[in-house]
Chain A
Amino acid sequence: MLDWIRGLGRGGFRFFETLGRANLFALKTLVGVPAVLVRPRLLVAQLYSVGVLSLPIIILSGVFVGMVLALQGYNTLVDFGAEESLGVVVALSIVRELGPVVTGLLFAGRAGSALTAEIGLMKATEQLAGMEMMAVDPIHRVIAPRFLAGFISMPLLAAIFSALGIYGGYFVGVGLLGVDEGAYWSQMQSKVDLYDDVYNGVIKSVVFGLVVTWIAVFEGYDTVPTSEGVSRSTTRTVVYSAFAVLGLDFVLTALMFGA
């Protein structure tokens, strides 16, 4: 019993220790960001591996999520003779929720895990220590470009996801199920608000991008430099990112649409 309480205390200390390290690390990274802007080539390389290489999965999932939403929504709405509202259903669910959230989860799985594994291996093979020996700050050279690339890519990917999802819904709803094309777009335009819905969705994706990339680079930088440690850090990145995205989504939704 006493051991259990002791373990609880140790766990608590470790948690707050890690949290503090993560925040200090975020601060150092933010300080390193202006240095990246001076050398945009580092940023472009990371934008390629973080953003462009995530594009296929985002495109495919966006189209299919939109198609499924249209199919499901149609089956429910047709009972009420309200299948003209399909555009509203698809657009609101994608722009408000599914776009940022699913993109965040996919981004954590596709790009976040890769970032953690890459940085973790750099640490395990002592490349980061080598940079410090050469008086190159690894946070400026390695971490900050990756962080900035994730922060920039995520909202772009989420926007692509949302737009393609709406066209996927259009393809199934209008093309296959025979919803009127004019009704699909006009109902959508009259019910989706630029500020309340589209901007809030973009804000969500910016927040998720920030958090997922932060978790990914921190877990990589903070890893235990063994092959097991890297594998654990990679797992933790995906798990913590999923928690953070879903938890923050609830908080942000409550703030934006709760009132």
Chain B
Amino acid sequence: MKQSKTTELMVGMLIAAGLAALFVLAMKVSNLSSYSAKSSYTVIARFENVGGLKVRSPVMAGGVLVGRVAGIDYDSDRYEAVVTMEMDQSYDRFPDDTVASIYTAGLLGEQYVALDPGGSEDFLVDGSEIEFTASALVLEKLVGKFLLNSAESGNQ
């Protein structure tokens, strides 16, 4: 079987193109870039209700991504949800009276943890707990309250 250099070249190019395509899928299309092994520190926060928050949801401060949710557990002693957040080490100067709230990006968007820095002189360190938290808004509760209010105002 005669085998020209062209055949070998074309096969090599096919394999290179296939691997390049896989590389594009990994780097450009998927979220590999956010799996980066940057050094991080962990803080926890307790919420009454985390709503639709998920593992790997963003943690934002002033609209900037500063970390990701690493885990969500339920503390059955205190009946609260415990959210573990992995914070980027380069943002390690949050005061320890920072407020963590769960907001929704857009009307139907995903939920995220927003951090509003307080005024304390001490900073959050690895393993510390954010004490001031605001739970996610649950739409059904809001609608319920609204209906209750309108019913009451109708009675008067």
Contact = CB atoms under 8 A, between A and B. Distances in A.
Nearest to A55: B14
Contact of A45 (B1, B18, B32, B35): B1
A95 B8 contact: no
Contact of A194 (B14, B15, B19, B26): B26
Interface string B1-30: 101000110110111011111101110111
A240 interface: no
A51 to B, nearest CB: 5
Contact of B7 (A45, A159, A163, A191): A45
A155 B24 CA distance: 14
A41 B33 CA distance: 39
A99 to B, nearest CB: 9
Contacts, number: 85
Interface residues of A, number: 34
B150 interface: no
Nearest to B22: A159
A198 B30 contact: yes
Contacts of A52: 10-11, 13-14
Contacts of B35: 194
A36 to B, nearest CB: 14
A163 B1 contact: no
Contacts of A164: 21
Interface of B: 1, 3, 7-8, 10-11, 13-15, 17-22, 24-26, 28-35
29 contacts: A44-B7, A45-B7, A47-B11, A47-B14, A51-B14, A52-B14, A55-B14, A152-B15, A156-B14, A156-B17, A156-B18, A156-B21, A159-B18, A160-B17, A160-B18, A162-B21, A166-B24, A166-B29, A185-B28, A189-B28, A189-B29, A189-B33, A191-B31, A193-B31, A194-B30, A197-B30, A198-B25, A198-B29, A198-B30
Query: Which 10 pairs, one residue from A and one from B, show the smallest C-beta to C-beta distance?
Result: A156-B18, A163-B21, A159-B21, A194-B30, A160-B21, A52-B10, A159-B22, A47-B11, A163-B24, A192-B30
Interface of A: 41-42, 44-45, 47-48, 51-52, 55, 91, 95, 152-153, 155-157, 159-160, 162-164, 166, 185, 188-194, 197-198, 201-202
